[in-house]
Amino acid sequence: MYLIQILLPVYDNEGNKFEAEQYTKVRLELTEAFGGSTAYSRAPAEGLWHDAGKVTKDDIVIVEVMTSSINKKWWARYRKDLTERFKQELLVIRAQKLETL
């Protein structure tokens, strides 16, 4: 089993907040594809990273699904689509091997 997490920005690069419907659309797409999804959106997570010698901050929403296998081609296409929809240079989708207890 795998836990797939998608890190989505709260704001675009100009500081405009994305509409809630955009996250709802992602959740519905993932629920359709994987049978369910979870979003952590009430208190956005905060990411920090070094960019050109300064620390940059980003508020993110995490959407996740569980799946028994990973179709890397599907995820590559979906990440490309989300990168365009959320106007990002790079959008992180990560997978962790998961053991349910």
Q: Which amino acid is at 92?
A: V
pLDDT class for 42, splitting at 50, 70, 90?
A: low
| pLDDT of 7 | 94
Class of the domain covering 2-97: alpha beta
Q: Which residue has the higher pLDDT, 49 or 3?
A: 3
pLDDT at 33 over 90: yes
Write down the pLDDT at residue 12: 86
CB 7 within 8 A of CB 20: no
Please report, rounded to a whole number, the percentage of residues in the chain having pLDDT higher than 90.
Answer: 64
Task: Report the side by side order of strands in the sheet with 54-67.
Answer: 38-51, 54-67, 2-9, 93-97
pLDDT band at 32 (very low <50, low <70, confident <90, very high): very high
Q: Is the pLDDT of residue 57 over 90?
A: no
Model-level pTM? 0.84
Nearest Cα to 60, choosing from 78, 46, 50, 80? 46
pLDDT digits (tens, 9 = 90+) for 72-82: 999 999 999 99
